[in-house]
Amino acid sequence: MLEQWRKAVFEETNGLKPEDFSWETPEGIKIKQLYTNIDSENLDFKQSLPGFPPYVRGVKASMYTVRPWTIRQYAGFSTAEESNKFYRNTLSEGGQGISVAFDLPTQRGYDSDHPGVKGDVGKTGVAIDSVEDMKILFDGIPLDKVSVSMTMNGAALPILACYVVTAEEQGCQIKKLSGTIQNDILKEFIVRNTYIYPPVPSIRIVTDIIKYCTRYLPSFNTLSVSGYHMQEAGADAAMELAYTLANGKEYIKNAIDAGLDIDEFAPRMSFFFGVGMSFYVEIAKLRAARLLWHEIVSEFKPENKKSSLLRTHCQTSGWSLTSQDPKNNIIRTTIEAMAAVLGGTQSLHTNSFNEAISLPTESSARIARNTQWILQNETGITKVVDPWGGSHMMESLTNELVIRAKTLIKEIDDEGGMVTAIEKGIPKFRIETSAIAKQAQIDKKEQNILGVNKISNSDQELEEVLEVNNEEVFKHQINRLQNVRTNRSQTKVDQALKALTDAAQREEDILLELTIDAIRLRATIGEVSKALEKVFGRHQANIMNVSGVYGKYFKDELNWKEIVIGVKSFAHAQGRNPRILISKMGQDGHDRGAKVIATGFADAGFDVDLSPIFSNPKDIAKQALENDVHAIGISSLAGAHKTLVLNLLAALNSQGSNDILVFLGGIVPNCDHKQLLDAGVKAIFGPSTPVYECVDNVLEYLNANNNSV
| Binding test (CB under 8 A) with other proteins, winner from 627, 670, 689, 697 | 627
Burial class (CB in 10 A: 0-12, 13-18, 19+), 613: buried
**Cβ(357)–Cβ(670) below 8 Å:** yes
Residue 4: how many other CB atoms lie within 10 Å: 7
Residue 226 touching other proteins (CB under 8 A): no
- In angstroms, give the least distance from the CB of 544 to other proteins: 7
3-state secondary structure of 665: strand
Burial class (CB in 10 A: 0-12, 13-18, 19+), 279: middle
Q: How far apart are CA 289 and CA 313, in angstroms?
A: 12
The question of whether 197 is a catalytic residue gets the answer: no
The question of whether 228 is a catalytic residue gets the answer: yes
Q: Which residues contact 520 (CB under 8 A, 6 or more apart)?
A: 131, 165, 168
Residue 34 touching other proteins (CB under 8 A): no
Residue 574 touching other proteins (CB under 8 A): yes
3-state secondary structure of 690: coil
The question of whether 229 is a catalytic residue gets the answer: yes
**Nearest alpha-carbon partner for 236 in 439, 435, 441:** 435
* Interacting positions 690-709 with other proteins (CB under 8 A): 709
- In angstroms, give the least distance from the CB of 170 to other proteins: 41
- In angstroms, give the least distance from the CB of 656 to other proteins: 6
- In angstroms, give the least distance from the CB of 596 to other proteins: 12
Residue 545 touching other proteins (CB under 8 A): yes
**Nearest alpha-carbon partner for 616 in 640, 600, 591, 580:** 640
DSSP structural state of residue 52: S
| Segments of 299-374 assigned E as strands | 312-316, 347-349
* Number of chain positions touching other proteins (CB under 8 A): 46
**Nearest alpha-carbon partner for 507 in 185, 200, 152:** 200
- Helix/strand/coil percent split, the chain, to 5: 55, 10, 35
* Interacting positions 585-604 with other proteins (CB under 8 A): 598-599, 601-604
Residue 427 touching other proteins (CB under 8 A): no
- In angstroms, give the least distance from the CB of 124 to other proteins: 22
- In angstroms, give the least distance from the CB of 650 to other proteins: 16
Residue 619 touching other proteins (CB under 8 A): yes
Residue 533 touching other proteins (CB under 8 A): no
Q: Which is nearer to other proteins, 48 or 574 (CB)?
A: 574
Catalytic residue among 46, 118, 211, 229: 229
- In angstroms, give the least distance from the CB of 568 to other proteins: 7
Does residue 326 have a cis bond before it (omega within 30 degrees)?
no
* Interacting positions 643-662 with other proteins (CB under 8 A): 655-657
The question of whether 642 is a catalytic residue gets the answer: no
Q: How far apart are CA 32 and CA 40, in angstroms?
A: 13
Residue 115 touching other proteins (CB under 8 A): no
| Binding test (CB under 8 A) with other proteins, winner from 70, 433, 577, 703 | 577
Q: How far apart are CA 620 and CA 633, in angstroms?
A: 11
Catalytic residue among 111, 236, 386, 588: 588
Q: How far apart are CA 111 and CA 101, in angstroms?
A: 16
Of 151-159, 333-341, 521-529, 624-632, the segment contacting other proteins by CB under 8 A is 624-632
Residues that bind other proteins (CB under 8 A): 537, 540-545, 547-548, 551, 564, 567-568, 571, 574-577, 598-599, 601-613, 615, 618-619, 622-623, 625-628, 655-657, 709
Residue positions annotated with a catalytic role: 74, 228-229, 584, 588, 590
